[in-house]
Amino acid sequence: MKAKPPSKPKTHLHLNQEEPQKPSEFSFAIARIAVSQICQSVGYKATQLSALNALTVVATKYLEAIAKSASSLANTSNRTQSNLLDLTLALHHLVTLHTSTLFSISSSGGGIIRDLADFVSFHDEIPFAKPIPRPQITSIPSWATSSSSFSHVPKWLPRFPDGVISCSVNERKCGERLWEDSVLGGGGIETECSTSSSNVIEQEKLKEGKLELDLERTEKVRFRITTTRGRGGGGLRMVCREEKRVCWNHHYNNKNITNNSINDDDVLDDDDDDQSNGIFDDEGLKKSGSKRKRR
């Protein structure tokens, strides 16, 4: 064996000198103390620092592997909390990875907990060197801490802000209300649309106008055959509007055709006016009707 270096690191000396800053370093330092205690109980007098670090990393990975396996087993059973069965299965998976061969898995299948029980009974109890202060939990207040009547909300969810629960859900920001409230409150549609009553009146006007228009349309000509702008009245063009009763004003058409092109333009302009005013404008229609009558 090689001669030992003069500055052989001693575990208990070095552990006290370091001041871990991050929580991961803190937990790692604690795990290192625990692992060094285990090594001491096995019979070691000193360790290399690198060997102790490596063993601590392996131990923490072992812990995390157990936890991951157990939690994933619980999650596959639609649970969030792991129970003894998950833990036993996880330990079984992990222990068979490093101890059993394929042959001995079946023979020593369920003996893991028994091995642990033997370990506990045969080994001396070595508590941790120092008591660890519990970290002050200043996390988000959860449903578990608050006494609430919302039994359907899971406990791991954070609590609602206080203002949300106190104010009614039905009160909205812009003065809007839910449809159910407006109907069940007896108001009906009128109360619902009270804020926009002028709009309703307009709509009603429009409806009435449309009705009047329809009544008027039954009497008046909606399809007109006019000449195109081309001279001589060679081609006839049909100006088609809504689907209305087709009415042929022969006299008017004949008169138009016989007229000169300025009159044709006039008729077309009239038509354009109607289009621009829209179908709800009955005054324009009447004007055009009177124009036509005049002609």
Q: Which of 15, 46, 89, 193 binds another protein (CB under 8 A)?
A: 46
Q: List binders of another protein among 221-250 (CB under 8 A).
A: none
The DSSP letter of residue 225 is: E
Rounded distance between C-alpha atoms, residue 83 and residue 25, angstroms? 29
CA triplet 110, 114, 118: central angle to 5 degrees? 155
Closest CB to another protein among residues 68, 291:
68
Applying the rule CB under 8 A, the residues between 113 and 152 that interact with another protein are 113-117, 119-120, 123, 125-128, 132, 134
Min dist CB 67 to another protein, Å, is: 4
Of residues 32 and 224, the one with the C-beta less far from another protein: 32
- The CB-of-80 to another protein minimum distance in angstroms stands at 6
CA torsion sign for 147, 148, 149, 151 is negative
Rg (the chain; Cα; Å): 46
In whole angstroms, how close is the CB of 47 to another protein at the nearest point? 4
Applying CB under 8 A, does 8 fall inside the site for another protein? yes
Please identify, among the stretches 23-31, 172-180, 189-197, 254-262, the one whose residues bind another protein according to the rule CB under 8 A: 23-31
Using the minimum distance from each CB to another protein, give the nearer residue, 44 or 150. Answer: 44
For residues 236 and 257, is the Cβ–Cβ distance under 8 A?
no
175 sits in the region (left: phi over 0; alpha: psi -120 to 50; else beta) called: left
Tokens of 269: 């302009």
| Least distance from another protein to the Cβ atom of residue 119, Å | 5
* Stretch near another protein under the rule CB under 8 A, chosen from 80-88, 182-190, 192-200, 247-255: 80-88
Amino acid at residue number 14: H
CA angle 117, 119, 124 (to 5 degrees): 120
| Residue choice 81, 139, 147, 151 for contact with another protein (CB under 8 A) | 81
Q: Note whether 22 binds another protein by CB under 8 A.
A: no
Distance between alpha carbon 7 and the CA centroid of its chain, in Å?
59
Is the Cβ–Cβ distance between 142 and 162 less than 8 Å? no
Question: Alpha-carbon distance 224 to 289, whole Å?
Answer: 12
Q: Is 158 in the site for another protein (CB under 8 A)?
A: no
Q: How far is residue 6 from each of residues 13, 14, 16, 45, 54, measured CA to CA in Å?
A: 15, 15, 20, 16, 22
Q: Which of 15, 20, 34, 279 binds another protein (CB under 8 A)?
A: 34
Choice from 16, 18, 41, 242 touching another protein (CB under 8 A): 41
Bridge partners (DSSP) of residue 236 are 227
Give the footprint of another protein on this chain (CB under 8 A).
Answer: 1, 4, 8, 27, 30-31, 34-35, 37-39, 41-48, 50-52, 54-55, 58-60, 62-64, 66-68, 70-71, 74, 80-84, 87, 91, 97-98, 110, 113-117, 119-120, 123, 125-128, 132, 134
